[in-house]
Amino acid sequence: DGTPVTPDDVVFSFDVLKANSPQYAAYYHNVTKAEVTGPHEVRFVFSEKGNRELPQIVGQLPVLPKHWWEGKDASGKTRNPTETTLEIPLGSGPYRLARFDAGRSATYERVPDYWGRDLPVNRGANNFDTQRAEYFRDATVMIEAFKADQFDWRTENIARNWATAYDGFPAVREGRIVKEEFPQAGLGIMQAFTLNLRRNKFADARVRRAFNLAFDFEEMNRTLFYGLYKRVDSFFFGTELASSGLPEGRERAILESVKDKVPASVFTTPYKNPVNGSPEAVRANLREAVRLFQEAGYEIRGNQMVEKATGQPVTVEFLGYDNSAERVVLPYRAALERIGLKVSLRVVDPAQYQNLVRSFDFDALALSNWPESLSPGNEQRDFWGSAAADRPGSRNLAGIKDPGVDALIDTVIYAGDREELVAATRALDRVLLAHNFVVPQWSSTVSRTLRWNRFAHPAVLPKYGASGFPTTWWYDPALAAKTGAAR
């Protein structure tokens, strides 16, 4: 709106976000306050020394306009940043939200006098006058709308669609639609079935390993995913931060420093997911799963797995937020039922799902993930730290409370250089895997995209930005005319 961004806006943003968001409260845990020290200067005060990431963390602070949030809306009510609203908020970026149709679309318009337009970091970026995001409730309808050229670009996250839904379409064969994969080098991820350790039935690591043994990823990848996925075997899958083999050098030294707090197996046995995919392998893994349950104090009575001491059957309810959960849980349920477990799936709407997850009111999550940057730090406390386990809204969905994990998180945060950060993160990864806190699922190291062939991009794409669309792309009328994809 032409109002200058001031230090007061920065301090206001820090205070509001830390006070009202569990994620920001954890992220800025070691930032005690922000204070104005000059007309264009803010000072952040840290509670500790040696955390090299803290200056970067405070540099990521989203800056909110204090005058707008402390002002009144059209009804005369003072705005509240903690409340949901359909009022278009005030921003300071290259685009403004111009209009929206709730649940259908949002349209952004380029700000012609954007203050940062000519900064070197923005040269050649933000090339579209208008961007509109369209929302579809049904994936099939969305695909047909794309084929009808009702929108320009989509990222296809469903393997079946990528494998079967487009190749026979004339526009793909004729080059009017481009189907392209872009490498994703800037992000590690753990995607998993998450077991809620706050429930006693998941407290024993042998039980959690049994759940992993029962998961036949290989068959699911063959029948549901067309072989397009890889099994996740690290909390930092796809990056140099992932552990492998046995620990050596600096990583081993870090693990030795917490030897009394971590499983002994981290020094002797590399983590490996069980391999299924054949009847023989499935039978062997299910037998091992039953043995682990028995070691943990359970037995099969009739066709049911029960707790020896109480006779209580083992039940597990998976929670999901859309029907895609059925596709992945149903074959898994069949395997778990073969070893005597009683398994159900509960699918709720996204809002209810968020409320249940925030309050940790679930047995197991059908699908959850933790995207990881290449420079992990404070957020690891929110993901895996004991202090976050019972804090509503935290990302410690599994409810991990482990002194070895806590110690290694601190080692990651206080790493003195890149070499130590990599070693500490691999050590943390190794210990998280050894505890079998989750049942790893699948992921891909590429972004699968489709676009109508009327856009161009720089010859060299950002290494860590996948496609970089739409930020560094532009409309190319000559290309559109040549390919027959002009609008």
Tens of pLDDT, residues 46-99 = 998 888 888 988 999 999 999 999 999 999 999 999 998 999 999 999 999 999
Q: What share of the chain is helix, strand, coil (3-state, %, to 5)?
A: 35, 20, 45
Please check the confidence at residue 368 and state whether its pLDDT lies above 80. yes
- Distance separating alpha carbons of residues 33 and 28, to the nearest angstrom: 9
Band of residue 167 on the pLDDT scale cut at 50, 70, 90: confident
Please compute the mean of the pLDDT values over residues 314-320 and round it to a whole number: 98
pLDDT over 90 (residue 294): yes
Q: What pairs with residue 193 in β-bridges?
A: 439
Q: What b/e string do you get for 57-66 counting C-beta neighbours within 10 Å, with b at 16 or more?
A: bbeebeebbb
Q: What pLDDT sits at residue 14?
A: 98
pLDDT of residue 462: 83
CB 208 within 8 A of CB 202: yes
pLDDT category of residue 143 using cuts at 50, 70 and 90: very high
487 pLDDT above the threshold of 80? no
* pLDDT(341) > 80: yes
Answer whether residue 486 shows pLDDT above 90: no
Report whether 397 contacts 222 (CB < 8 A). no
Which amino acid is it at 407?
A
Q: Using the predicted structure, report yes or no on whether residue 312 has a pLDDT greater than 90.
A: yes
State yes or no: pLDDT of 466 exceeds 80.
yes
Q: How confident is the model at residue 210 (pLDDT cuts 50, 70, 90)?
A: very high
User: Higher-confidence residue: 253 or 84?
Assistant: 253
* pLDDT above 90 as % of the chain: 88
CA distance 363 to 82: 29
Domains with residue ranges and CATH for the chain: 7-92 (3.90.76.10), 136-185+447-483 (3.40.190.10), 188-443 (3.10.105.10)
For residue 188, name the pLDDT band (cuts at 50, 70, 90): confident
* pLDDT above 90: residue 483: no
Higher pLDDT, 27 or 420: 420
Average pLDDT of the residues of the chain: 95
| pLDDT at residue 186 tops 80 | no
Kindly list the distances between the CA atom of residue 49 and the CA atoms of 37, 46, 57, 412, in Å, as whole numbers in the listed order.
21, 7, 14, 14
Of residues 235, 261, 204, the one with CA closest to residue 406: 261
pLDDT score of 313 more than 90? yes
Predicted local distance difference test score (pLDDT) of residue 485: 79
62 neighbors 432 (Cβ within 8 angstroms) = no
Work out the average pLDDT over 306-326: 94
Q: Evaluate if residue 291 carries a pLDDT over 90.
A: yes
User: How distant, in Å, are the alpha carbons of 177, 425, 476 from that of 455?
Assistant: 11, 39, 5
Is residue 51 within 8 A of residue 414, CB to CB? The reply is yes
Please state, in angstroms and rounded to a whole number, the distance separating the CA atoms of residues 359 and 340: 29
Q: By three-state DSSP, how is residue 444 classified?
A: coil
pLDDT at 239: 93
Q: How many other C-beta atoms lie within 10 A of the C-beta of residue 428?
A: 29
Question: In this model, does residue 33 exceed pLDDT 90?
Answer: yes
CA distances from 33 to 18, 30, 47, 388, 391 (A): 10, 9, 9, 21, 22
pLDDT at residue number 26 = 85
Structure tokens at 336: 């778990």
Query: Which amino acid, residue 18?
Result: K
DSSP label at residue 409: H
SS3 of 270, please? coil
Q: Which of the listed ranges 136-140, 184-188, 286-290, 444-448 does the model predict with the highest average pLDDT?
A: 286-290
The arithmetic mean of pLDDT across residues 353-357, rounded, is 97
Least confident interval from 357-361, 362-366, 376-380: 376-380
Region 221-237 average pLDDT: 96
Percent of the chain with pLDDT over 70: 100
Tell me the mean pLDDT in the region 252-281. 97
**Does the pLDDT value for residue 187 go beyond 90?**
no
Neighbours of 312 (CB within 10 A): 12
